Amino acid sequence: MDAEILIPILIPLGLFAMIFGIFYIRNRERMAMIERGMDPRNYKPQPAPWQNLKWGLLLIGAGLGLFLAYLLDQTVFRNAEDNEAIYFGLVAVFGGIGLVISYTIEKKELYQNNKDEKQ
């Protein structure tokens, strides 16, 4: 079959499956809460306290990786034709470094809070 025929069929099917899955999982979650005696209307998930730090450091790392890849592309690898791997590699490396820094900050803060609570 041609891809031109499959695309108009698969996109609505995939969209329907995604929406159905979201509602199905939410319903199962609510039924499990009712079985345990909880009221699903009063339930609000706890906010992740370090989410903004994690995303910020990840995006800063990815931006630094893109910037460094651009500088390397324009200066060191000027005559090479295929430099896409530099961009993907440095975005992944610097994004990972940002996540490691976020983990280190979170761990230090949690250790400091546990130490203060024990005293």
Is residue 73 within 8 Å of residue 86, measured between CB atoms?
yes
- Residue 83 confidence (pLDDT) above 90: no
pTM above 0.85, yes or no: no
Give residue 119's pLDDT band: very low, low, confident or very high (50, 70, 90). Answer: low
4-8, 86-90, 112-116, range with greatest mean pLDDT = 86-90
State pLDDT tens for residues 41-75: 887 777 778 899 999 999 999 999 999 999 999 89
DSSP letter, residue 38? -
> How many angstroms separate the CA atoms of 80 and 69, rounded?
13
Write down the pLDDT at residue 16: 96
67, two tokens: 């910037």
Per residue, what are the HEC states of 65-119? Answer: HHHHHHHHHHHCCCCCCCCHHHHHHHHHHHHHHHHHHHHHHHHHHHHHHHHHHHC
- Residue 35 confidence (pLDDT) above 90: yes
pLDDT higher at 6 or 47: 6
Give CA 57 to chain center in angstroms.
12
DSSP for 20-44 reads: HHHHHHHHHHHHHHHHTT--TTT--
- 61: nearest Cα among 49, 50, 69: 69
Write down the pLDDT at residue 2: 74
Write down the pLDDT at residue 46: 74
